[in-house]
A and B are shown apart, each in its own frame.
Chain A
Amino acid sequence: DGGITQSPKYLFRKEGQNVTLSCEQNLNHDAMYWYRQDPGQGLRLIYYSQIVNDFQKGDIAEGYSVSREKKESFPLTVTSAQKNPTAFYLCASSIPAGYSSGANVLTFGAGSRLTVL
């Protein structure tokens, strides 16, 4: 079955450490996204990528980095510069607007919960 796989499901980080969250999709979608979800704040966009080797900052990119070397993969690194990294992180993908009647419907992974100790 096609879908998005995020790993690990749970991750603990000590202060000062960088951690990388994995996101792999087999939906043949061109666009991929990273969101952060905090209680009472909804989903906030961290980074997105429309094509391989290209990505743009979202609303809260500071302290995060991404790469898009393959169409299927969009890993997110939470760096030590992110001051409040404890959150639920969601990866998503979509067919760009030109192929999906403009709705740009997102398919989400199951999420990764990061806790800073």
Chain B
Amino acid sequence: QKEVEQDPGPLSVPEGAIVSLNCTYSNSAFQYFMWYRQYSRKGPELLMYTYSSGNKEDGRFTAQVDKSSKYISLFIRDSQPSDSATYLCAMKGTGFQKLVFGTGTRLLVSP
């Protein structure tokens, strides 16, 4: 079993839809949770990160962490065609530990 599981998609939605992207994990030591966005043939860029449980909002994006269920989510409101990309979740414990990445979910937002 992988430490981090993420549905590869693709997830296809119409413009304006609310998108929910999710990851599950098995390591209870994870404390930092991140979402990266990667456009085709580009490097990933950080969207958001959260520490421990709770919600964090940044514009149209909301990240949620439920440590009791070992489940994290990224919600995108009013999705736009420019949101079409692969979304990678990543997480780590405390200290200088390596990030563990999910495989990424490919999102397609159609006009």
Contacts and interface: CB of A to CB of B under 8 A. Distances in A.
A47 to B, nearest CB: 11
Contacts, number: 60
Does more than half of chain B's interface fall in helix, strand or loop, or is it mixed? loop
A101 B31 CA distance: 12
B25 interface: no
Contacts of B43: 4, 6, 90, 92, 108-111
Interface in B28-80: 31-32, 34, 36, 41-46, 49, 51
B42 A43 contact: no
A102 B99 contact: no
A50 interface: yes
A60 interface: no
Contacts of B34: 103, 105
B51 A103 contact: yes
